Amino acid sequence: AQTVTQSQPEMSVQEAETVTLSCTYDTSESDYYLFWYKQPPSRQMILVIRQEAYKQQNATENRFSVNFQKAAKSFSLKISDSQLGDAAMYFCAYRSAWNNDMRFGAGTRLTVKP
Amino acid sequence: DGGITQSPKYLFRKEGQNVTLSCEQNLNHDAMYWYRQDPGQGLRLIYYSQIVNDFQKGDIAEGYSVSREKKESFPLTVTSAQKNPTAFYLCASSIPRGTGASSYEQYFGPGTRLTVT
């Protein structure tokens, strides 16, 4: 079974600075999807960014970008120009292209300091 | 507005009682999911359903039951057999594999916090 590991339970960043959240995963499959979700205090899960494994180009969504290293099975999230509203739990998730379930990491709690 | 609704937001029950959590979506998604979230842990899959009248157990299905009689609805029953039911429960839906979609992210409801005493 696939597993997703987030080795940083907590991270903090100064407002306007850049922070990188780490994620590694274990799989024997070659075709899959990776996601970063944000869960603010409201607990609503919000999709931040997605990456298709077959795409070599790293995904970018405004201030959010990923560093996808397929061979290393690494999928880190970089948040640039951090804002107070970025404070949340961030979950890395893996979804196989062959079934419908999704595997989540344990999450990283991000604090943004003013 | 398309989305997923879960009700109620907070639910309290006495130990030994069954309780049903509601999940409704109007996204026209075939696949629906139930997750449990405990402090310090990620989301763990309880049950999922790919089409109406079909569902499969996830990693922690013991003590839970579901039904999928309508495409829009996927209620979860927490039975008295569930040893530690107090948790935050999230419902999600997605376009299933094989539909030609470019990606298969899951869309989540706002969640239900269940407290059993």
CB–CB of A43 and B110 under 8 A? yes
What's residue B115's pLDDT? 95
d(CA A15, CA B37): 29
* Span B3-14, average pLDDT: 93
Degrees (nearest 5) of the Cα angle A104, A108, A114?
A: 145
- The residues that bridge with A43 in the sheet, in sequence order, are none
Degrees (nearest 5) of the Cα angle B91, B95, B96?
A: 100
pLDDT tens-digit map of B101-112: 555 788 999 999
d(CA B104, CA B79): 31
Backbone φ and ψ for B100, nearest 5 degrees, come out as 85, 5
Which chain A residue has its CA at the smallest distance from B50's CA?
A100
Mean pLDDT by 10 residues, chain A (114 residues): 92 98 95 94 94 92 96 97 97 87 92 97
Tell me whether the omega of the peptide bond preceding residue A40 falls within 30 degrees of 0, making it cis. Answer: no
- Chain B positions touching A99 (Cβ under 8 A) are 97
CB–CB of B105 and A4 under 8 A? no
What's residue A49's pLDDT? 96
- Chain B positions touching A4 (Cβ under 8 A) are 42
pLDDT class for B95, splitting at 50, 70, 90? confident
> For all residues of chain B together, what is the average pLDDT?
90
| DSSP single-letter state for residue B95 | P
